[in-house]
Chains A and B, each alone.
Chain A
Amino acid sequence: QKEVEQNSGPLSVPEGAIASLNCTYSDRGSQSFFWYRQYSGKSPELIMFIYSNGDKEDGRFTAQLNKASQYVSLLIRDSQPSDSATYLCAARSGGSYIPTFGRGTSLIVHP
């Protein structure tokens, strides 16, 4: 059974701080990893994807992947109240086009 685990939160950070969201996955065959943002009542919106060990940066967002530890994280720099949402981590095995989603971490950025 493929599992993606996330702390449900909420994670509360002040505006301007760095928010750090974490995710672990059980399937060692996972090769692609995705972070989605989901506002309440809305659909998931892709923020970043990462395939290789290390860091990948896109604007205020940095995804970090450590395949040996089966760990993925998302850092949000200079957090804004508009970043308040649930962040979903998803992992996909090589040869599959079906990602497994975590339950998501609720992030609250307070002014």
Chain B
Amino acid sequence: EPEVTQTPSHQVTQMGQEVILRCVPISNHLYFYWYRQILGQKVEFLVSFYNNEISEKSEIFDDQFSVERPDGSNFTLKIRSTKLEDSAMYFCASLAPGGGEQYFGPGTRLTVT
């Protein structure tokens, strides 16, 4: 069964460093998302991406964040200058054709020290 994959599973970085989180969505899906979940808190929407451009973004998704689809398969989230409060699980998701179900990847745990 096709699935969303994410790398790395765990990233440790120092405050102020840039990180790139990678995702490979399910191949026939057209909408892609990034969410984050701070430990013990709710899943929060960051950004959605459709047709090679940002479709929607939340207030959390400020100038420190960017997304790219550098090729036909990868979908990346870049955080330019990480802060302690960026420590969270970051989930990539993709939306099934027809706009129904959204499938999540396994997540990347980002730890900023």
Contacts and interface: CB of A to CB of B under 8 A. Distances in A.
Interface of A: 32, 34, 36, 42-46, 49, 88, 96-104
Q: Is the interface of B mostly helix, strand, loop or mixed?
A: strand
A49 B99 CA distance: 12
Interface residues of B, number: 23
A76 B100 CA distance: 22
Contacts of B100: 32, 49
Given A43-B89, A43-B91, A97-B99, 19 more contacts: A32-B100, A34-B102, A36-B104, A43-B104, A44-B91, A45-B104, A46-B102, A49-B100, A88-B43, A96-B56, A98-B33, A98-B45, A98-B56, A99-B45, A100-B45, A101-B42, A103-B41, A103-B42, A104-B42
A97 B104 contact: no
Interface of B: 31, 33, 41-45, 48, 50, 55-56, 89, 91, 95, 99-107
28 contacts: A34-B102, A36-B104, A42-B106, A43-B91, A43-B104, A43-B106, A44-B104, A46-B101, A46-B102, A46-B103, A49-B101, A96-B56, A97-B31, A97-B48, A97-B55, A97-B56, A97-B95, A97-B99, A98-B33, A98-B48, A98-B56, A99-B102, A100-B45, A101-B43, A101-B44, A102-B42, A103-B41, A104-B42
Contacts of B104: 36, 43-46
